[in-house]
Chain A
Amino acid sequence: MSLATTESVAEIKARNKQLIDEVLKVYPEKTAKRRAKHLNVHEAGKSDCGVKSNLKSIPGVMTIRGCAYAGSKGVVWGPIKDMIHISHGPVGCGQYSWAARRNYYIGTTGIDTFVTMQFTSDFQEKDIVFGGDKKLAKIIDEIQELFPLNHGITIQSECPIGLIGDDIEAVSKVKSKEYDGKTIVPVRCEGFRGVSQSLGHHIANDAVRDWIFDKVNPEAKPAFEPTPYDVAIIGDYNIGGDAWSSRILLEEMGLRVIAQWSGDGSLAELEATPKAKLNVLHCYRSMNYISRHMEEKFGIPWCEYNFFGPSKIAESLRKIASFFDDKIKEGAERVIAKYQPLMDAVIAKYRPRLEGKTVMLFVGGLRPRHVIGAYEDLGMEVVGTGYEFGHNDDYQRTAQHYVKDGTLIYDDVTGYEFERFVEKIQPDLVGSGIKEKYVFQKMGVPFRQMHSWDYSGPYHGYDGFAIFARDMDMAINSPIWKKTKAPWKDAPRPSLMAAE
């Protein structure tokens, strides 16, 4: 049993408040004032979590955040498999993000598919001094020559592009014309824009709107016959195959998925999406913009869903079905019933090993709330959570649908805060990213990467939940956590006992 579950909510709240006060003491006054607005103890019934968000990170504090380029190339555009995404600028950005995000796809890499490749303009000093537009034009020519089956090109701007005044839009237009209207998308996702990955998502969404949707001829003959059951999956990046274990459920209930955004996605799917009858949106944070645009421009409704854990999956399947006729509604019930025995078996196996265990999360755009239900299905409790780049609407959704009274909330947490919080709260599991993983494991705290699924997954859908449950059990109940203290040393700390 961990400490949290033995305390009353009032005690937890008092302790969490005290913890916040304690961590703030380390900062210079000005910084403490700013950070205080990002930390809170959730009060049940409030419409949001009571924290400020989507503000600049403070210099020098060790934020976990990335940049707009990461949000555009790394998240939104990178997985579009039949397009070539040029990391435009110096070599590093593309190198560090090369194949790091596990966006699974099917295709012949290097021939008709390019996701796990690193195309870069590898800027040198002369490109900074004289500008990179000519080089970019030549790069596009060379891509056309060497990778003739690519369906399009995007230009993912790194910091220098916006600073040296390159006109990548002009290059894109000229080259698009030269190559018979080829889709070439300039993206202004320079890393210094905005405060995190989040603006990069928005910029990437806008680029789809301006450089793909606006170029599709609405009169053109559709590539496929529309049906009343056509939907598009928006905001699933197919990490470890997540979009596939989601798609299968939608299809089993009688819907037809005409596009995946953007995991295992293709240009044709992006272009076809305005024909969908409903957009189903998993990662609200990174793709609400284009969903709203399609609603306004094409009248396509959109609906958020959550495919983590059987409770939320069933709720989401019914919600999605409510947009359609009885056939689909029955289909949803049929799917839920079909997988019930599997879910019962998974829960029967893992819940006894995980019941009462506590979790602290710190992830990106949807998982700080979306995975809570899956943990609860396993009898676990999330006692602290926060967003790397969430906005207030994320915290509203979190407060209204997910977190419990007294949960510790930390927005854009700093390395220092996160370590202190975990040290004091001693959860049984921390779920965050690669930069955090080894810090907490050194402390003897079981950990799962909740961006990359720690190289496992999928975690979405019913098939994914079995893997999720197995992985959480494997992390928490690994025998290794009993060995972190040498037997001739003092008894292990409570967090270690909790892990047994």
Chain B
Amino acid sequence: MTQNAEHVLDHFELFRGPEYQQMLANKKALFENPHDPAEVERIREWAKTPEYREKNFAREALTVNPAKACQPLGAVFVAVGFEGTLPFVHGSQGCVAYYRSHLSRHFKEPSSCVSSSMTEDAAVFGGLNNMIDGLANTYSMYKPKMIAVSTTCMAEVIGDDLNAFIKTAKEKGSVPAEYDVPFAHTPAFVGSHVTGYDNALKGILEHFWDGKAGTAPKLERKENSKVNFIGGFDGYTVGNIREIKRIFELMGIEYTILADNSDVFDTPTDGEFRMYDGGTTLEDAANAIHAKATISMQQYCTEKTLPFIQGHGQEVASFNHPVGVSATDEFLMALSRITGRPIAKALEQERGRLVDAMADSSAHIHGKKFAIYGDPDLCYGLAAFLLELGAEPTHVLSTNGNKAWAEKMEGLFASSPFGKNCHAYPGKDLWHMRSLLFTEPVDFLIGNTYGKYLERDTGTPLIRIGFPVFDRHHHHRYPVWGYQGGMNVLVKILDKIFDEIDKNTNVPAKTDYSFDIIR
């Protein structure tokens, strides 16, 4: 017996004891019909070869370990960014359980969202009654200021019409006629969570600006000096949006953050559960039509929203999850140009500090090869930062990136001598990445938590940047945008590089001559 009351053994250690090891070996040998270990080893080695890579890349139907989620997740992420708003997903209820779990596991925060709980009868007759009852219940129970509706693929396949359903529900008295129920169709079989972000945000703005589904006059734009800001689907929303607010305030810019979920995903533990916290006020959402311009930090999260806003007469500008010196420079210069406000001295100093830090450390990053995967904008932002550090983003893979994204990435690679041997892989998954890492190894991998399987299998050290990050805590609290954010990313990369150097130089009397105290 290995267990001990004084020093309780966890699963980490418990099963390594001889009794368990023997038990598991017996189980395998007698009952599992295992393959010959030599055969397992042969296949394991074969899966590392260029031949396997070729077969792997020839896949046309199967997806293995994708790095993307489905539309409604993005819609829920947007909805909770508005004051007192409860996301309402029309369709099967299991989906909502999944979105809530997914967001809670990343942010370590509550995630509130309701479903219209459609079942087989609704599949046959449509989900109108679910919408009618659902809105009434949500409104009575959780007293939201707004209910933002999106859809699961079930409701989309049977063709439920949200506009008509919400109208009918209002007629039946589920919620008051003038109550705000913006909506967006978010089919899971189109695009990914970034598409859902786009559709949901556009749905909400359309609601407020274009006459609330025919129930109010359309707003007439009267340009003011404000700037709207859209973060896009972002695992670092808490740290990033706060950093952006600080930058706006330093520059004296009047702004509206659209879908500001930085507070609701970072509520205090003080005895009170806040189902709603912070968020863009509904008034600000409506008045955002009058802004001078709208800035999106993620082009691929706002492919429909930005043209919609532009169509209302605003200037729009989009970026690709800017990380590092030049990307932040461009963001700030655009901000300055649009608002006429000079870039704050304090920011100039921060820029200098980031350049200082990069200069201090660049020797350790220069020439290192990286693989990156994630959402299309994040991939772009990180790759650009690596290039300005003199590193090579050798493989950049985005499951939800398309051909246009790949071309944009290739353009970025072409702009730098360090991008010479770099390639973009749109629509590929992490099983493709596995082949890339075996056949064209790199020094480091940047990606979300699921990259740990690649790290284990290929030995490529993983730097966790992306969404979701389930197995490290609180990273979402630290920005990756702005010069300060760039500093955070730099430190994260450096920490891993130094840890690896130490790990590889710590065998006494063998490799420890490089185990330097000063690096």
Contact = CB atoms under 8 A, between A and B. Distances in A.
Contact of A119 (B62, B95, B273): B62
A128 B270 contact: no
Contacts of A119: 62-64
A60 interface: yes
B373 to A, nearest CB: 14
Given A419-B273, A435-B97, A441-B269, A146 B59 contact: yes
A447 to B, nearest CB: 11
B64 A109 contact: no
B155 to A, nearest CB: 9
Contacts of A65: 93-94, 97
Contacts of A170: none
A99 B468 CA distance: 13
A370 B71 CA distance: 38
A89 B152 CA distance: 12
A124 B189 contact: yes
Interface residues of A, number: 130
B15 interface: yes
B19 A248 contact: yes
A439 B61 contact: no
A139 B62 contact: yes
A122 B152 CA distance: 15
B267 interface: yes
Interface in A5-27: 26-27
Contact of B114 (A62, A96, A139): A62
Contacts of B19: 248
A241 B88 contact: no
Given A70-B97, A90-B153, A61 B104 contact: no
B422 interface: no
Contacts of A142: 59-62
Interface in B136-157: 136-138, 140-142, 152-154, 157
A125 B190 contact: yes
A142 B431 CA distance: 13
Contacts of B97: 64-67, 70, 435
Contacts of B189: 89-90, 123-125, 127-128, 160
B267 A442 contact: yes
Interface stretch (A42-50, A100-108, A173-181, A306-314): A100-108
Nearest to A99: B450
B3 A463 contact: yes
B23 A247 contact: yes
A63 B188 contact: no
Contacts of B134: 59-60
A159 interface: yes
Contacts of A61: 114, 137-138, 141
Nearest to B193: A92
Interface string B491-513: 00000000000000000000000
Contacts of A209: none
A302 interface: no
B506 to A, nearest CB: 28
Nearest to B33: A268
Interface string A185-206: 0000001111101000000000
Contacts of A469: 8
B8 A466 contact: yes
Contact of A442 (B70, B91, B114, B272): B272
Interface stretch (A324-332, A341-349, A373-381): A341-349
A59 B33 contact: no
Contacts of B268: 442
B117 to A, nearest CB: 5
Nearest to B456: A109
Contacts of B109: 438
Interface of B: 1-6, 8-11, 14-15, 19-20, 23-24, 27-28, 30-35, 39-40, 43-44, 47, 52, 55-56, 59-66, 68-70, 72-73, 88, 91-95, 97-102, 104-105, 108-120, 122-123, 130-131, 133-138, 140-142, 152-154, 157-158, 187-190, 192, 267-274, 431, 434, 450, 453, 457
